């Protein structure tokens, strides 16, 4: 068997997440698309895929890492070119290199970096629709205030360090621990673009994340920015298990897996 390590970029809008969920053609996944292409190249011989991060439906990636195991003898560069010629336009192999059998994309990773992009313009540019969430600075709902970016930036610091993120994740009885370590969490502004939009992103770097954890963190920050939550509400949710979520989950479209460090 031969092993290759790949770095992949994809736009997740048309997919029901990374993971192959079987033969349901109405629920395409990124993994299934890649697996089908691999089978074509390998003449339908055995081929397997191991991934670093199983992104959810609608989530994008600029630096997903996988290891593929195949029976075919082929140079990494030719494999990259062959796969990209067969993959749909919204999935691309950025890099491909030989790997070892022992390499585990998930367990061997040192950190994973995600960005959550959102636009605060009142009128939303439709060009950004699939990849940037719309969180207008001034809400049409009279019960909520204007988005306080400075307050959100202050709140980001609360998530840094080791915390129990039980209150910021989907319930998963198979998970032995909900303790996770966030290395960095900050809110930054995207430099001005030709689209003229006011776009920000929440940058989160950590060793690993629970299901929906980043989207619940983003949702809490948005609620805080609208004065629907206090800083103490977030601190309390980090200190105690909350069965009821303190905020809604942010939409998937704004979330991007940026890079994985080894």
**pLDDT tens-digit readout, 217-251:** 999 999 999 999 999 999 999 999 988 899 999 99
Name the catalytic one among 20, 24, 56, 121.
56
If you average pLDDT over every residue of the chain, what do you get?
A: 92
Asked, for residue 103, whether it belongs to a domain, the answer is: no
Query: What DSSP string runs through the chain?
Result: -EEEEEEEEE-GGGSS-SS---S-TTS--HHHHHHHHHHHHTTT--EEEEES--PPTT-EEEEEEEEEEESS---HHHHHHHHHHHS-TTEEEEEEEE--TT--TTTT-SEEEEEEEEE--SSPPGGGTTTSEE--SS-S-TTS----HHHHHHHHGGG-EEEE-GGGS---TT-S--EEEEEEEEEEEPPP-TT---EEEEEEEES---TTHHHHHHHHHHHHHTTSS-HHHHHHHHHS--SS-SSPPPPGGGEEEEEEE-
Indicate if 129 and 256 belong to the same structural domain. Answer: yes
Q: Which of 89, 96, 88 is nearest to 33 (CA)?
A: 88
Is 56 marked active-site?
yes
What pLDDT does 121 receive?
86
Indicate if 94 and 136 belong to the same structural domain. Answer: no
Q: Which of 68, 98, 128 is the last residue of a domain?
A: 98
Indicate if 116 and 242 belong to the same structural domain. Answer: yes
Asked, for residue 104, whether it belongs to a domain, the answer is: no
pLDDT tens by residue, 15-57: 999 998 776 667 899 999 999 999 999 998 989 999 999 999 9
Q: Which residues on neighbouring strands pair with residue 260, listed in sequence order?
A: 112
pLDDT tens by residue, 133-181: 999 887 665 445 579 999 999 999 999 999 999 999 998 877 789 999 9
Indicate if 50 and 173 belong to the same structural domain. Answer: no
CB-based burial label for 22 (10 Å; 0-12, 13-18, 19+): exposed
Q: What is the CATH number of the domain that holds 221?
A: 3.30.70.660
Indicate if 88 and 117 belong to the same structural domain. Answer: no
Residue 44 CA to residue 6 CA, distance in Å, equals 20
Q: What is the CATH number of the domain that holds 26?
A: 3.30.70.580
Asked, for residue 241, whether it belongs to a domain, the answer is: yes
Q: Which of 98, 126, 145 is the last residue of a domain?
A: 98
Indicate if 89 and 124 belong to the same structural domain. Answer: no
Domain of residue 82: give its range: 2-98
Q: Which of 197, 119, 116 is nearest to 156 (CA)?
A: 116
120 in Cβ contact with 41 (< 8 Å)? no
Indicate if 85 and 178 belong to the same structural domain. Answer: no
Indicate if 7 and 93 belong to the same structural domain. Answer: yes
**pLDDT greater at residue 142 or residue 96:** 96
Within a 10 A sphere around the Cβ of 242, how many other Cβ atoms? 14
Residue 133 CA to residue 110 CA, distance in Å, equals 28
Q: CA dist 125 to 4, 58, 96, 134, 194, Å? A: 39, 19, 35, 9, 11
Indicate if 63 and 177 belong to the same structural domain. Answer: no
Asked, for residue 90, whether it belongs to a domain, the answer is: yes
Residue 31 CA to residue 51 CA, distance in Å, equals 9
Residue 43 CA to residue 96 CA, distance in Å, equals 20
What pLDDT does 196 receive?
65
Query: Number of structural domains, the chain?
Result: 2
Indicate if 217 and 148 belong to the same structural domain. Answer: yes
Indicate if 53 and 177 belong to the same structural domain. Answer: no
Residue 93 CA to residue 81 CA, distance in Å, equals 8
pTM given for the model: 0.93
Residue 54 CA to residue 201 CA, distance in Å, equals 21
What pLDDT does 142 receive?
43
What pLDDT does 122 receive?
84
In this prediction, what percent of the chain has a pLDDT beyond 90?
A: 80
Indicate if 89 and 118 belong to the same structural domain. Answer: no
The length of the chain in residues reads 262
């Amino acid at each position: 068997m031969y092993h290759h390590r790949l770095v992949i970029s994809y736009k997740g809008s048309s997919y029901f997440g990374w993971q192959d969920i079987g033969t349901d053609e109405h629920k395409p996944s990124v993994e299934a698309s890649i697996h089908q292409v691999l089978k074509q190249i390998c003449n339908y011989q055995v081929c397997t895929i191991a991934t670093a991060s199983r992104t959810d439906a609608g989530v994008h990636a600029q630096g997903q890492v996988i290891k593929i195991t195949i029976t075919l003898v082929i140079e990494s560069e030719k494999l990259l070119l062959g796969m990209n010629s067969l993959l749909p336009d919204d999935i691309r192999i950025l890099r491909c290199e030989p790997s070892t059998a022992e390499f585990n994309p998930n367990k061997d990773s040192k950190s994973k970096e995600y960005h959550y992009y959102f636009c605060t313009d009142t009128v939303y540019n439709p060009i950004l629709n699939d990849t940037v969430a719309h969180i207008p600075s001034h809400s049409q709902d009279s019960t909520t205030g204007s988005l306080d970016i400075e307050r959100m930036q202050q709140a980001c610091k609360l998530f840094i360090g080791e915390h129990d993120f039980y209150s910021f994740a989907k319930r998963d009885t198979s998970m032995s621990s909900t303790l996770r370590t966030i290395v960095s969490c900050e809110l930054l502004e995207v430099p001005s673009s030709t689209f003229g939009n006011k776009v920000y992103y929440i940058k989160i770097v950590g060793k690993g994340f629970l299901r929906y954890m980043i989207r619940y963190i983003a949702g809490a920050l948005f609620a805080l920015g609208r004065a629907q939550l206090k800083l103490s509400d977030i601190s309390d949710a980090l200190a105690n298990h909350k069965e009821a979520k303190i905020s809604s989950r942010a939409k998937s479209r704004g979330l991007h897996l940026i890079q994985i460090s080894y």
